[in-house]
Structure 1
Amino acid sequence: MSLSTPVSRRALRHTRAIDIQAFKRDDGLWDLDAHITDIKENDTLLASGPRVAGQPLHDLWLRVTVDRQLTIVAAEAVSSAVPYPGFCDTIGPAYEALVGLNLMKGFRHELKQRLHGIAGCTHLTELAQILPTAAVQAFASDVWPTHDAASAHVPHDKPFQLDKCHALRTDGGAVAQFYPRWVVKES
Structure 2
Amino acid sequence: MPLSQPTSRRVLRHTRAIKIDAYSREDGFWDLDAHITDVKTRDIPAAAGIRPAGVPVHDLWLRVTIDRALNIVDAEAVSDNVPYPGYCDTVGPAYRSLIGLNLLKGLRHELRQRLGGILGCTHLTELAQVLPTAAVQAYAGEVIPVSGDSDTKPFQLDRCHALRTDGGAVAKYYPRWAVARADDSTP
TM-score (norm 1): 0.96
Alignment root-mean-square deviation, CA: 0.7
Counterpart residue number, 1:79:
79
Q: What is the 5 A alignment of 1:34-183?
A: 34-149=34-149, 155-183=150-178
Q: For 1:76-107, what per-residue CA distance to the aligned partner results, in whole angstroms no more than 9, with x for missing partners? A: 00000000000000000000000000001111
- d(CA) in 2 for partners of 1:86 and 1:7? 43
- d(CA) in 2 for partners of 1:130 and 1:161? 17
The share of aligned pairs that are identical, in percent, is 69
**Displacement of 1:142:** 1.0
**Displacement of 1:21:** 0.4
TM-score (norm 2): 0.96
- d(CA) in 2 for partners of 1:120 and 1:148? 40
**Displacement of 1:48:** 1.2
**Displacement of 1:144:** 1.1
Structure 1 gap segments, 5+ residues each: 150-154
Counterpart residue number, 2:185:
none
Alignment size in residue pairs? 182
Partner secondary structure for residue 114 of structure 2: helix
Question: Which segments of structure 1 move beyond 3 Å, counting only runs of 4 or more?
Answer: none
Partner amino acid, structure 2, of 1:41: T
Partner secondary structure for residue 56 of structure 1: coil
**Displacement of 1:157:** 1.1
Counterpart residue number, 1:152:
none
- d(CA) in 2 for partners of 1:111 and 1:156? 34
| Residue 2 of structure 2 is aligned to residue 7 of structure 1 | no
**Displacement of 1:31:** 0.1
Partner secondary structure for residue 37 of structure 1: strand
Partner amino acid, structure 2, of 1:185: A
